[in-house]
Amino acid sequence: MNEFESLPVELIAEILGELDITSLITVSYLSRRLHTIASDPSLNPWRRPILRNLRGHPDASYEPCLKHLSVRRNVPRHNWVEIISLARAEWLLYEATLPNLKESEWEEGFNRRFLPGWRKWKKELGTWKEAFIKCLVVELADVRIIALGVLNKPRGSTTLNYNARIFLHPPGVEKTETAETPPENNTSAGPSTVGDDSTHRSRRPADINQVYRNMMHPTPARSHDNYPFYTPGGEDRRWIGSGEFEEGGMQWVGGLMLTAQIIGPHTKEAFTDGPRLQDWDLVTGSNRGQYASLTWADLSAIAPWLDVTKIDGPGLGID
């Protein structure tokens, strides 16, 4: 133990971050030095084990000690912004002991979890905490953005919806199995704000000079963790073709309708008698009629590369 505690504090924090939460709680009380390291917000060895719980399999249970982690004074409070942003709604409502967070922290959690159009609840209820709980109870926390349109092989260019293509495929971003990171000395885009703390560039820098960042407000689900970049695993279905064409060499024609659907227990269950990208809740599941509001502010949040003031011809409709 003496040899371990003689290591640099940064190295000790890295080692502690590999523990599960239960073990980290125990170790943090073994000595004053370990307690000090565990309590340091800048070292914060709690973040990784907390995220391993929150980003694990959707059906996996969280460690039991996570629900009452707020009562432990050696756990930096800003970890709870991550927890309220990513944890399952029913767990937050019925199991977790929520801490006393600042209004700014509740606001940050709200912005990460919900669409910008839902900020209206703050005006009606008065505080960000009340607005956060209201959205969990009434509109739920998790939605998916669905694009409904027509794929076809057009005879001419007049019906082509170039806006749909740009919305689904940010210019210059391609489907890759790994996210790309620019050189460390590239600081033109400034610091990143989420994920693995890296900034991502287009794979075709000669074609485009725009720099994209991982979306944080709202925070995407694990299945789309790299959004707007491609997230491997099979659930990021924006790339269903190659090059300038979609599935079967077809293109988007006519209007494209965007809507937000509340995620339910059958949302990702495959509907075997339909198209391969069609799931149960698009056909006959319990949530096929459960939709949330989607505003122009929400579109700007999920697709900031679009200039909605210059959309002409076949465009994007919001429901």
Any idea where the domains of the chain sit in the sequence? 2-80
Q: Please check whether residue 219 is in contact with residue 200, taking contact to mean a CB–CB distance below 8 angstroms.
A: no
With 90 as the cut, is the pLDDT of residue 35 above it? yes
Q: From CA 138, how far away is CA 84, in angstroms rounded?
A: 16
b or e along 159-195 (b: 16 or more beta carbons within 10 Å of the residue's beta carbon)?
ebbebbbbbbbbebbebeeebeeeeeeeeeeeeeeeb
Higher pLDDT, 259 or 286: 259
In this structure, which amino acid lies at residue 153?
K
pLDDT digits (tens, 9 = 90+) for 82-94: 999 989 888 888 8
Helix or strand holding residue 145 (H, E): strand 143-152
% pLDDT > 90, the chain: 25
- Out of 1.20.1280, 3.30.230, 3.30.200, 1.10.490, select the CATH number for domain 2-80: 1.20.1280
User: Which pLDDT does position 84 carry in this prediction?
Assistant: 92
User: Which pLDDT does position 76 carry in this prediction?
Assistant: 93
pLDDT digits (tens, 9 = 90+) for 52-73: 999 887 778 999 999 999 999 8
Q: Indicate the SS3 state at residue 217.
A: coil
With 50 as the cut, is the pLDDT of residue 139 above it? no
Q: Indicate the SS3 state at residue 291.
A: strand
Q: From CA 128, how far away is CA 149, in angstroms rounded?
A: 36
Band (pLDDT 50/70/90 cuts) for residue 205 is very low
With 50 as the cut, is the pLDDT of residue 14 above it? yes
CA 287 to chain centre: 21
pLDDT digits (tens, 9 = 90+) for 154-169: 777 777 888 888 888 8
